[in-house]
Amino acid sequence: MSTATVTTGAGRRSRRPLPRWSTVPAWGRWAAYALLFVLAILLPAIPGISTVMSPGNNWTGVLIYPVGLYILMALGLNVVVGYAGLLDLGYVAFFAIGAYTDAVMSTKYGWSFWESLPVGIALSMLAGIVLGTPTLRLRGDYLAIVTLGFGEIIRVTANNTDYLGGPRGISSIPRPSVDSSLPLSGQLQFGALHLRAYWYLIVVLIALVIIIAKRLEGSRVGRAWAAIREDEDAAELMGVPTLRFKLAAFAIGAAIAGAGGAVFASRQIAIVPDNFLFQLSALILAAVVLGGSGNVPGVILGAFLVAWLPERFRGFQEYRYLFFGAALVLIMLFRPEGLLPNSRRRAELEEGTGGMGSLGGGVGAAATQNVEVDE
C-alpha cells in the first residue's frame, strides 16, 4: 500500500495511507470520468429510475434544475473556494449576470442562445475581475461580506431597472435551436416536451469544466492556488503574485456560473430577480463543503445531494428542509472534511491545522505540508 510522510508546520511527522484514488494512474482517472460521462448521458433513459429518484414523473426536469445546474455551479465555486481558498458568498451574482445576458440579448436583440452564451460567460468573467481587483486584498470574513453585498447589489439592481424588467423580470426567452441538417438534430430539440437536450447540454458543460479544473489543478496555476490557500503571506514571500492568481480563480469561477445562468434562463423561459437570492449561494457553498472542498468527485456528490434530497422528499413539504438541515449538521459534525475530501484537506484536519484557512481564512490557518510518497 502507498503511504505518505506528512510534515506539518508544527514539525510533527506522521505516516498515513494515501487515498486509493490518489494511487490510480492518470489514464485510469480519465477513464473513470469518461465512464461517468456516458452514464450521465444515459441517466434520464434508465428504465424505472424516474419512479425511484423523483416523487413525480419529472425526473429529467429535476436533473436539469436543480441537479445539473447545481453541479455545474458547485464545480465553478470549487475553483474559488476549494482551490484558491477564497470564501465567496455572492456567487449567485455571476449566475444572474449570465441569465440576464441571455434574456436581454435574445428578447431585445434577437440573438440566438448560442450567440448570447459566450457573451454571458465573458460578462460574468469581467464582473469577477471588476469585483476582485479592489476586494481580493481582503481575506476571510471581510472578503465574504463584500461578496455577499455584491450578490445583493446585482439582485436589487435587476429589481429596480426597467430595462431588465424590474420585479416582473424578463419573459418569453427563446429556447436554444439546432440546425435540422446536423447529425442527431432530431435528438437535440429543446422544448417543454424535449427536456433531454438540456440535460445533454449541461453534461457537456460539466465535462468541459471538469477537464479545465483538473488541468488547472495540476498546473503551475493550481500549485499557486494551493500555496495561497494554505498561507498567503508565505506564498507572497516566495514570490507568488497572489493577487493575479486570486483574480484568475475569481474570473474562472464567475465564467462557469455565467454559463449556468444562460442555460437556466433558456430553460425557464422567464426569469425574475427573486430567482437569484442569497440562499442559492449558500446552497452551492454547502454543496462544495459537504462533498469535499477541492475534490471534484466530492463536489459533484455534494451538489447532487444538496439538489436532489429536497426534491426527492417534496412530499414532506413542511419538514423536508428541516430534515435536510439536520442531515447537513450531522455530516459536518461527524465528517467535517466532507464526504469525499481532498487528501490535503483531510491531512490538515487530522493534524489540527486546517482551520478557516482552507476556506479563505488566511494566515496561520493551515500549515504548509511536505509530502514524500513511498511505495
Separation of alpha carbons 322 and 329, rounded Å: 11
Q: What local confidence, expressed as pLDDT, does residue 76 receive?
A: 97
The residues pairing with 3 across neighbouring beta strands, listed in sequence order, are 17, 374
Average pLDDT estimate for 245-249 = 96
Is residue 39 one of the residues assigned to a domain?
no
Determine the Cα angle at 287 with ends 282 and 290, to 5°: 115
The rounded mean pLDDT for the chain is 83
Is residue 311 one of the residues assigned to a domain?
no
Q: What local confidence, expressed as pLDDT, does residue 336 receive?
A: 81
Q: What local confidence, expressed as pLDDT, does residue 186 receive?
A: 59
pLDDT at 355 over 60: no
pLDDT at 17 over 60: no
Q: What local confidence, expressed as pLDDT, does residue 42 receive?
A: 86
pLDDT at 51 over 90: no
Most confident among 119-133, 301-315, 332-346 (mean pLDDT)? 119-133
Q: φ, ψ for residue 43 (rounded to 5)?
A: -55, -45
Is residue 73 one of the residues assigned to a domain?
yes
Average pLDDT estimate for 334-346 = 79
Q: How many domains is the chain built from?
A: 1
Separation of alpha carbons 118 and 263, rounded Å: 11
Is residue 54 one of the residues assigned to a domain?
no
Q: Grid coordinates in use for 2?
A: 502507498
Q: Nearest CA to 198 among 181, 277, 206?
A: 206
Is residue 219 one of the residues assigned to a domain?
yes
Give the DSSP H/E element, type plus range, for residue 233: helix 232-237
Average pLDDT estimate for 59-67 = 83
Range of the domain at 205: 62-176+188-278
pLDDT at 361 over 60: no
What single-letter DSSP state applies at residue 170? B
Q: What local confidence, expressed as pLDDT, does residue 41 receive?
A: 87
Separation of alpha carbons 322 and 359, rounded Å: 26
Residue reference for cell 457553498: 285
Q: What local confidence, expressed as pLDDT, does residue 234 receive?
A: 93
Q: What local confidence, expressed as pLDDT, does residue 46 receive?
A: 78
Q: What local confidence, expressed as pLDDT, does residue 311 receive?
A: 80
> Under a CB-based contact definition with an 8 Å cutoff, are residues 206 and 256 in contact?
no
Of residues 177 and 89, more confidence is placed in 89
Q: What local confidence, expressed as pLDDT, does residue 185 receive?
A: 56
Q: Which residues contact 262 (CB under 8 A, 6 or more apart)?
A: 98, 99, 101, 102, 113, 116, 117, 120, 121
Q: φ, ψ for residue 242 (rounded to 5)?
A: -60, -40
Average pLDDT estimate for 327-346 = 80
Average pLDDT estimate for 7-17 = 47
pLDDT at 276 over 80: yes
Is residue 165 one of the residues assigned to a domain?
yes
Listed range (15-29, 38-52, 269-283) with the worst mean pLDDT: 15-29
Residue reference for cell 487528501: 343
Cβ atoms < 10 Å from Cβ of 364? 13
**Percent of the chain at pLDDT exceeding 90:** 55
Q: What local confidence, expressed as pLDDT, does residue 96 receive?
A: 98
Is residue 181 one of the residues assigned to a domain?
no
Q: What local confidence, expressed as pLDDT, does residue 310 receive?
A: 82
Average pLDDT estimate for 179-191 = 66
> Under a CB-based contact definition with an 8 Å cutoff, are residues 72 and 206 in contact?
yes
Is residue 356 one of the residues assigned to a domain?
no
Q: What local confidence, expressed as pLDDT, does residue 152 receive?
A: 96
Q: What local confidence, expressed as pLDDT, does residue 350 receive?
A: 64
Q: What local confidence, expressed as pLDDT, does residue 228 receive?
A: 93
Determine the Cα angle at 281 with ends 89 and 320, to 5°: 135
